[in-house]
Amino acid sequence: MNLRKRKPDVRTVLWGGWLCVLLVTVLGVRVLDQQHRDSYQQQVRGDVTRELSILRAQFEGAIGENLQVVQGLVAVISSDPDITPHRFASIASAILAQKQELRNIGAAPDMVIRMVHPLAGNEAALGLDYRKNALQWPKVRQAAETGELVLDGPVDLVQGGEAFIGRVPVFVAPASGEERVLWGLVSAVIDVEALYREAGLYQSGNLAVALRTLGNDAVPGEVFFGPAGLFRQQPVTMPVVLGGSRWQLGATPAGGWPTHPPDVVRFRALLLLASALILLPGLGMTLSIQRERKSRRRLQSQFELSPQGMALVESHSGRLLRVNASLGAMTGVDAETLRTTPISRILPSPMPWANRDQDRRFGPVESLCLHADGGSLPILLSGVRVREEGDRELVWLSFQDISEQKKVEQMKSEFISTVSHELRTPLTSISGALKLLSEGMVGELPEKARDMVGIARKNSERLTLLINDLLDMDKLVSGKLGFNIRPLALAPLIKTSLENLSTYAHNHDVSLAYDNQSGQAAVLADDLRFQQVMDNLLSNAIKFSPAGGRVTVTSELLDGQIQLSVCDQGEGIPEAFRTRVFEKFAQADGSDRRIKGGTGLGLAITRGLLQHMNGSIRFESEPGIGTCFYVLLPRAN
């Protein structure tokens, strides 16, 4: 069976890679933290070792100095084995005066203590036979056999207390030159407390210190100075070998071995910061790539499934890079074939974005999409230019089929035109008949009948205006409205417009004013259409002005053009309605109970008329103050 290798998911690869980086970073942080801790502990052990070396030297020196002064007494006895107690006491007194750590000095001829200085307090030691003292005899015998100084201790003294005892064998050489004979030994008792103070063990500073004995096979013995538990705390140890005795000196920091360096918080904060600088950009990049992939997939789905035609085009060459199925259906060519063709095959204007140097977006603009059968579809074309790496510019295009919309607009226009024409003929007859009745052509009417005829005549005139607006709008859309554009004196045109609306203004208790700042300037316009524009603007201004208000028309020269303004003192145009002011059938109050009448076509017709006369219109409005409409038209030379 042929199994296809499954391609790894990009999301899995991205997150897997980031997790690997995370794992390596965590391990690296752990290793660095451990190394930092180990380095600090090694540094501390080194400091303890140096301080302990000094203590050992002081301890050995203190013992050595005390034993060295006793060697003088040994030399005296060797030369005078019959030394008297008085002379012994005299020499011993001089020695004790030099060393405060020496507690007493004793002489034991033939291994029995016969002389002790000072005697006071040490009487119990006199007569001590070393051969019969099981605790002290081994060291005494060692000194006798080796002929060397032997240090023992600390030992419990017969006279009380603890001390180190240095025993020095004394040999006497016969006059005949025979081999020397063991006379006995001299013992120097060193007070342990005084020795510890002299050696500095009580002033060990930052160290906790302990001493214990060592056997001949280096087996640790009893702790005789310091805390017994210290040797279970991985102390720094050093051997002390003096006078045949072996001890072990151990030390730790006074508060125990530190578990963390003093700067552990700062160091770990730096590690966390470094980790964040490594991980966060990677995480951000992973999330960014994932978001970009989601966005691409979403865009791809929208591109493929969009009901509108869409294409990606190379800006300079016009080559189609990607198209969707909807565009293929609009052109009658499958999407694969379209990818190999230029944009000119489907657009009569190949590159509508070519003249838009600054604008990245364009449209929507009406255009045509060419069909494979030779026909075309009306479309709304819009797009946006994007720049890729390497300075390559692409264009995303959207093709919206508006053929059905065009058909509906055509049907609507034809319907309105037909209805308007069909209504206009009978309405003209009705208006004419009502005019004859109101003027008494068929005889005098009763007062009530005259009032009813007047109402009917007024409403028939309103219907006539409505139908005229509908027909004008239809002609504007279809391009059938004729224009005779020629130079016209502006001031008389405006005065005529004001006269035409004077009765309407009087009925609304509104005054009209004209501020001529353009002098005798002439305007390029169609006489009839200009009057229609002014009638629409003035009637709107009057209609929305309060009783007692004023409508002002101002004309002025502006950069080779003529600007007209029509300003009222009404309530202003609502903010929500301002974007729809020039739309067809648009009214600020669109309800069926609106106070102001009208079709909502006046401003739409006005803008259309001005555009056909190469003019434009805009407005400014302030709530509670009023509205001004500004018209720009070409000035005639």
Percent pLDDT > 70 in the chain is: 87
Banded pLDDT at 306 (limits 50, 70, 90): confident
Residue 593 — pLDDT band, cuts 50, 70, 90?
A: very low
The CA distance from 208 to 227, in Å, is: 8
Q: Is the distance from CB of 603 to CB of 538 less than 8 angstroms?
A: no
Cβ atoms within 10 A of the Cβ of 391, count? 6
Higher pLDDT, 472 or 242: 242
Quick check: do 306-401 and 483-636 share a fold? no
- The pLDDT of residue 331 is above 60: yes
Pairing assessment for the beta strands 236-242 and 245-253 based on DSSP bridges: antiparallel
112 strand-pairing partners: 129
Fold (topology level) of 58-256: Beta-Lactamase (3.30.450)
Residue 305 vs residues 152, 296, 321: alpha-carbon distances, Å: 102, 14, 17
Tell which residue, 412, 469, 460, 403, has the closest CA to residue 435: 460
Write down the domain spans for the chain: 58-256, 306-401, 406-476, 483-636
pLDDT band at 462 (very low <50, low <70, confident <90, very high): low
> What are 635's two structure tokens?
């000035």
User: Residue 16 has what pLDDT?
Assistant: 75
CA 110/CA 183 separation, integer angstroms: 6
Distance CA(466)–CA(427), nearest Å, equals 11
CATH code 3.30.565.10 for 483-636: yes
Q: From start to end of 531-591, where are the E strands?
A: 550-558, 561-567
Q: Report which DSSP code applies to 195.
A: H
Distance CA 174, CA 242 (A): 31
Does pLDDT of 66 surpass 80?
A: yes
pLDDT at res. 3: 45
As a 3-state breakdown, the chain gives helix, strand, coil percent values, each rounded to 5, of: 45, 25, 30
Dist CA 351 CA 343 (whole Å): 8
Q: pLDDT digit string (tens) for 485-510?
A: 999 999 999 999 999 889 889 999 99
Rounded distance between C-alpha atoms, residue 429 and residue 426, angstroms? 5
How much is the average pLDDT of 102-110? 90
Model confidence at 7: pLDDT above 60: no
* pLDDT confidence bin for 382, thresholds 50/70/90: confident
Residue identified by tokens 């508060």 is: 255
Residue 508 is predicted with a pLDDT of 92
Mean pLDDT of 8-19: 71
Per-residue model confidence (pLDDT) at position 592:
41
For 221-247, how does the pLDDT look when each residue is reduced to its tens digit (9 = 90+)?
A: 889 888 988 999 899 999 988 877 888
Report the pLDDT value the prediction gives residue 591, as an integer from 0 to 100: 43
Exposure string over 345-370, b if 16+ CB within 10 A, otherwise e:
bbbeeebbbeeeeeeeebbeeebebb
Under a CB-based contact definition with an 8 Å cutoff, are residues 223 and 212 in contact? Answer: yes
Does the structural domain 306-401 have CATH classification 3.30.450.20? yes
Report which of residues 282 and 376 the model is more confident about: 376
What token pair was written down for 100?
């405060």
Please choose, from the candidates 76, 68, 86, 96, the residue with its C-alpha nearest in 3D space to the C-alpha of residue 170.
76
Q: How many CB atoms lie within 10 A of CB 150?
A: 24
pLDDT by residue (tens digit) across 390-422? 677 888 888 888 888 878 777 776 776 676 666
Is the domain spanning 406-476 CATH 1.10.287.130? The answer is yes
Supply the pLDDT for residue 590. 46
Mean pLDDT, all residues of the chain: 82
Strand-pair partners of 384:
361, 396
Mean pLDDT of 522-545: 91
What confidence category does residue 356 fall into, taking pLDDT thresholds of 50, 70 and 90? low
176 falls in which pLDDT band (50, 70, 90)? low
CA distance 558 to 171: 139
Residues 241, 243, 245, 249: is their CA dihedral positive or negative? negative
Question: Which one of 56-60, 491-495, 608-612 scores highest in mean pLDDT?
Answer: 491-495
Lowest-pLDDT range, 104-113, 255-264, 623-632? 255-264
- Read off the pLDDT of each residue in 618-635 and give the average, rounded to a whole number: 92
**Residue 154 structure tokens:** 């600390």
pLDDT at 4: 47
Spell out the residues 6+ positions from residue 6 whose beta carbon is closer than 8 angstroms to its own.
none
Return the pLDDT at 586: 58
**Biggest alpha carbon distance in the chain?**
195
Q: Among 188-202, 264-278, 594-608, where is mean pLDDT lowest?
A: 594-608
Q: What angle do CA 298, 301, 306 make, to 5 degrees?
A: 120
The answer, yes or no, to whether residue 357 has pLDDT greater than 70, is no
Give Cα separations from 188 to 64, 85, 105, 166 (angstroms): 12, 16, 5, 5
Confidence of residue 333 (pLDDT cuts 50, 70, 90): confident
Residue type, 547: A
User: For strand 361-370 and strand 376-388, is the pairing parallel, antiparallel, or unpaired?
Assistant: antiparallel
Distance of CA 492 to the CA centre of its chain: 68
> Phi, psi (5° rounding) for residue 558?
-150, 100
What is the Cα–Cα distance from 534 to 498, expressed in whole angstroms?
A: 9
